[in-house]
Amino acid sequence: MAVVSTDKWLNEFVNARKFTRKDELTSLQCSILCNRLVKLFRDGLPEEIHYTLQQQGLFLPHEEVDVEKLKKQKVWDCVQQEFLYLQRKWNGPSIPIYIFPITQRQTITNKNGVAYPHSLFYLWAIYKSRSSKRYLLMNITMFVVYTS
């Protein structure tokens, strides 16, 4: 399965946000992003999933999201290629990987990830250097090992 096209979800959120009142943005984000994740978490509610992802650093509903910059950096492609390489090398599981922007409040590492036995979540900022890209690839390695 590997990388899920969350860029499409993010674009949907960005477009819908233009027509949504500020006090409804959290509900909109939860609806667009987390309703699609319920099937991963047995008996999980979208609001619980949303809360958990926000605790890990999911971008806040009012924060600017530049999906095009992330696409230009080929974040989804890079993660997909590295995951498939490591999956073949280590005979790892086929699990979905979800990539979302990290909150702008996270200024120390600008990245985070959460591994579950059934899926991986990357929370990623726009990287400014090659070392950040290497860090991303290193974390993919750690997550593949963790879930194998």
> Could you report the per-residue pLDDT of 89-123, keeping only the tens digit for each?
888 888 899 999 999 888 677 778 888 888 999 88
- The mean predicted confidence, pLDDT, of the chain is 85
Q: What pLDDT, on a 0 to 100 scale, did the predictor assign at position 139? A: 58
Beta-carbon contacts of residue 18 (< 8 Å; ≥ 6 apart): none
Q: Which of 99, 98, 104, 17 is nearest to 60 (CA)?
A: 104
- For the chain, what percent of residues have pLDDT higher than 70? 83
> What pairing do the DSSP bridges indicate for beta strands 2-3 and 96-101?
parallel
Q: What is the pLDDT of residue 74?
A: 87
Instruction: Tell me the chain's radius of gyration from C-alpha atoms.
Output: 15
pLDDT in tens, 19-28: 999 999 999 9
- The tokens describing 11, both together, are 């674009």
- Quick one: pLDDT at residue 20? 96
What confidence score (pLDDT) does residue 82 get? 85
Quick one: pLDDT at residue 90?
Answer: 86
| Residue whose token pair is 């949907």 | 12
| pLDDT > 60? residue 138 | no
Grade residue 60 by pLDDT with cuts at 50, 70 and 90.
very high
